[in-house]
Structure 1
Amino acid sequence: MIKRRVYIIAGEPSGDLLGGRLMKAMKNQYDGEIDFIGIGGPHMEAEGLNSLFPMRELSIMGLAEILPHIPKLLKRIKQTINDVRKQKPDCLITIDAPGFTFRVAKQLKDSSIPLIHYVAPTVWAWKPGRAKKIAQFLDHLMVLLPFEPPYFEKEGLSATFVGHSVIESGIELANGDQFKAFHGIPADVPVLCVLPGSRQSETSQLLPIFKQVAQKLKNNYPTLRIVLPTVATVAQYVKEDTLSWELPVLVVEGESEKFGAFKAADVALAASGTVSLELALAQTPTVITYRLKKMTHWLAKRLIKVKYASIVNLLHNQEIMPELIQDDCNVDRIYHEIVKILEQGQSNSDHIQALESAMQMLGQGEELLPSERAAACVLSIIEKGK
């Protein structure tokens, strides 16, 4: 078999995870040798990548954080473009991080290298004009959501639905009973899982509200236990904040602890985001919330074109998971929804069936995992050439 050379770029931890799984699947599917080069983090490095430079240089959020780094980022973009041309790979795979990856791909559109992007911009939610723009320089797009391809195909860009990476998260291996036993939580007490977000801009808005909700719940459910899975980006802030709560909060870190908490919980209170898909996969009854600063919300209302925040609700075009956004994200409304779940339960067959249906739409139960479908797509493109 011909030895293949694949250039692959990720710019943030989520992309690195996708990249690592994709590299592993490609090696498993290709009979010959694949030489991976590019930019990535620990997951991609574990699969044999020597990163051109540390990926953390690209993991910058927010305008205020980006501005001081612009000269260095521009230098890294030029360095990457030059390296791709020098390496002459069989294809270039860019993963999410459009601020960096699209700038690289644009400069290579006239090359003979097939340009493949993994994770579509959310043109269905806002700024639909982006579909036409990226169709001018990309050769193929691998998307996570089943309704995404038509948005790009109508602009002339080939798109393949490969499935959502949440399917490969390993949530099904978690055990709620073991989580409770390990943390000394009695088997028969109700558990509330609180997830205030992974950015301080989110947690600072939601934690004060969640604190009041938790206190109100504790007054009526005295045996209630509260578990708060967090991530490194906000862990210190969360730990310090919850010290002032009038009731004990078990703060846990790491994927296995998070998934164990999902399985142990009777109900979850979560910031809108990917975590809502993880909770749906765990079949944890969940109340989705979000709150922005007033000016940001005013702008968002004029830009965002979708009815729901949660992917599960978007897939079904109805509110399967209750959503309380902005002014609705208040103590009384949240308390009411959580009590409704605790008293009536959402573990009924219709609700579970709706969650299972959403996961099937995202690729659960398919013969190939999302990373395997993505690998097959890339290898097919390499075989055909540009």
Structure 2
Amino acid sequence: MKLFLVAGEPSGDRLGAALMAGLTQLAPGVGFCGVGGPLMQAQGLHSLFPMEDLSVMGIAEVLPKYLHLRRRLHQTAEAVIASGADALVTIDSPDFCLRVARLVRAARPKMRLIHYVAPSVWAWRPGRAARMAEVIDHVLALLPFEPPYMTAAGMTCDFVGHPVVAEPLASAGERALMAGEGPLLLALPGSRRGEVSRLMPVIGDTLVRLRAMGLTPRVALPTVHGVEALVRETVQNWPTSPEIITDPARKRAAFACADVALAASGTVSLELAANGCPMVIAYDMNPLSFWLMRRAARIDTVTLVNLVTETRVVPEFLGPRCRADLIAPVLADLMQDGPARVAQKAAMALTMQRLGAGGEAPGLRAARSVLAALQPSSL
């Protein structure tokens, strides 16, 4: 059996590598070709071209590279068609991957096409599922409530677990790295420049207000190299000097030891849940973008812990409500062992359970799903 896999960004590379490891375990002799990053290459994939060519986000970034991306799109589709692979497995990056799938479907209508990571049609743009069903046969979902949306559109779908349940937590030795006096607050302003620029002043102002309330927690701020300089520049105006962290082991320690977190909206809420760290979610954006998002949204919460548990225990301060005067009292309350903290702890434990913690690894579950989707009875 031979599979053609396509991943377009680091998160997809991680999913693809775990899937390949699972497939190799369950179906020894399986062959791989396609596009992937270093993790997939370590599992035996010879990438058609560097995956980094596809790791472009945002209109301003895509436009200058449009012609190059278009060439890569057609190059990928032609390689799939010529490969003789039994199936195409596209991984996340829907703008690129589903265009490849459409070209492949037109040329090889009987080839099985599988997509890993269901689109969030439960949140916005529900019509994407129907358009996806025109070219995709089977979907691997990360969230337990996603399969019904996919099957309603005409695709088969399995929930295979979220990769967060397989990520390593801090060891006892790593936890010792964050030992210190007093409570520890985790500041998580995001990984994109726009997010950091908007949220860092709010976090700083929140710390000022906490200090006025008699609370002076230690602050840890994990960040990534792309925005580290901006982070270091901005914290100069904060009342407390945070520990800025880029080392992975120290980041794991900070997540494990933090008493509370103030975080940008995103999948980081699941990392916090895995570590049992109560959180407040904040996010600011251009007023027009926020208005458009609210008009398009089909949900009343953006936090995955709230969605997975069907609760609203994680407080959110979004758009015009992303204000330190609103955030600080809620954060202060969470730092106490009261009802709000207890409710979040319970919801986070339930989140991890529902995402597959303690069960078979998501990569292995994904591999079983792919193999089942290729059985003659499913064709």
Say yes or no: TM over 0.5: yes
Mapped pair 1:214 → 2:212: no
Deviation for aligned residue 1:246? 3.5
Task: State the number of aligned residues.
Answer: 376
- How is 1:261-272 mapped onto 2 (pairs within 5 angstroms)? 261-272=254-265
Q: Does 1:138 find its partner at 2:120?
A: no
Task: Report the alpha carbon displacement of residue 175 of structure 1 after superposing the two structures with TM.
Answer: 6.2
Give 1:238-277 correspondences, 5 Å limit. 238-277=231-270
- Please tell me whether the aligned partners of residues 175 and 254 of structure 2 are also in contact (alpha carbons under 8 angstroms): no
User: Does the CA-based 8 Å contact 2:174-2:250 persist in structure 1?
Assistant: no
Q: CA deviation at 1:262?
A: 1.1
Q: Distance in 1 between matches of 2:144 and 2:203?
A: 33
Q: Aligned AA for 2:374?
A: I
Question: In structure 2, what is the Cα distance between the partners aligned to 1:146 and 1:353?
Answer: 18
* From 163, 171, 188, the counterpart of 2:161: 163
CA displacement at 1:317 relative to structure 2: 2.5
1:374 counterpart residue number: 366
Structure 1 residue 377 displacement after superposition: 0.9
CA shift, 1:256, in A, is: 2.7
1:119 CA drift (Å) = 0.3
- TM alignment of 1:190-201, pairs within 5 A: 190-201=183-194
**Counterpart residue identity of residue 136, structure 1:** E
**Post-superposition shift, 1:348?**
5.7
Give the residue type in structure 1 aligned to 2:136: L
Structure 1: any 5+ residue segments left out of the alignment?
none
Q: Deviations over 1:111-161 (max 9, x none)?
A: 132100000111111110111111111110111111111112112111111
Q: Deviations over 1:305-341 (max 9, x none)?
A: 1011101101223212111112221011111111101
Q: List gaps (5 residues or longer) in structure 2.
A: none
Shift of 1:351: 3.5
Which residue number corresponds to residue 73 of structure 2?
A: 77
- Which stretch of the first structure deviates more once superposed, 145-154 or 105-114? 105-114
Whether the 8 Å contact between 1:23 and 1:47 is mirrored in structure 2 is yes
- Listed as ranges, the matches of 1:353-368 within 5 Å are 353-366=346-359, 368=360
Please say which of residues 297-306 and 346-355 is displaced more in the overlay.
346-355
Q: Deviation at 1:208?
A: 0.8
Q: Is the 8 A contact 2:188 2:222 kept in 1?
A: yes
Find the aligned partners of 1:58 and 1:131 in 2 and give their Cα distance: 23
Tell whether 2:64 aligns with 1:68.
yes
Query: Which deviations, in whole Å up to 9, do the C-alpha atoms of 1:91-121 show, x marking residues without a partner?
Result: 1110010110000001111413210000011
Q: CA deviation at 1:349?
A: 5.0
Instruction: Kindly indicate whether the alpha-carbon contact (under 8 Å) linking 2:15 and 2:363 is maintained by their aligned counterparts in 1.
Output: yes
State the Cα distance separating 1:350 from its structure 2 match. Answer: 4.4
- Per-residue deviation, 1:236: 2.2
Contact kept in structure 2, 1:287 and 1:323, CA below 8 Å: yes
Look up the SS of the partner of 2:126 in the other structure. coil
Q: Does the 8 Å CA contact 2:115/2:140 hold for their aligned counterparts?
A: yes
Provide closer, same or farther for how the CA distance between residues 174 and 209 of structure 1 changes in structure 2, counting only shifts above 3 A.
farther
* Distance in 2, Cα, partners of 1:303 & 1:149: 21
Cα distance, 1:201–1:158 mapped onto 2, change above 3 Å: same
Amino acid at match of 2:100: V
Residues 383 and 232 of structure 1: is their aligned pair in 2 closer, same or farther, counting only changes over 3 Å? Answer: farther
Are 1:121 and 2:119 counterparts?
yes
Q: Could you tell me which residue of structure 2 aligns to residue 102 of structure 1?
A: 98
Q: CA RMSD in A?
A: 1.8
| Pairs within 5 Å for 1:294-373 | 294-345=287-338, 350-366=343-359, 368-373=360-365
Q: 1:348 to 1:245 in 2, by over 3 A?
A: closer
TM normalised by structure 2 equals 0.94
Contact 1:197 1:271 in 2 (8 A): yes
SS at 2:145 equivalent = coil
**Aligned-partner Cα distance in 2 for 1:346–1:97:** 40
Partner Cα separation in structure 1 for residue 160 and residue 145 of structure 2 = 12
8 Å CA contact 2:170–2:256 kept in 1: the answer is no
Q: 2:218 aligns with which of 225, 230, 254?
A: 225
Report if aligned partners of 2:170, 2:249 keep a CA contact under 8 Å in 1: no
Aligned residue identity for 2:349: E
Give the corresponding residue for 2:152: 154
Residue 346 of structure 1 deviates from its aligned partner by: 6.3
Structure 1 residue corresponding to 2:86, chosen from 90, 115, 137: 90
How far off is 1:179 after superposition? Answer: 2.5
Which amino acid letter does the alignment assign opposite residue 281 of structure 2? I
Offset at 1:263?
1.2
The CA deviation at 1:381 is 2.4
Q: How many Å separate the matches in 2 of 1:239 and 1:220?
A: 26
Identity, % of aligned positions = 40
Contact 1:195 1:230 in 2 (8 A): yes
Question: Take 1:222 and 1:324, find their aligned partners in 2: how far apart are those partners?
Answer: 21
- State the Cα deviation string for residues 266-291 of structure 1 (Å, max 9, x = none): 11000010000110110001111111
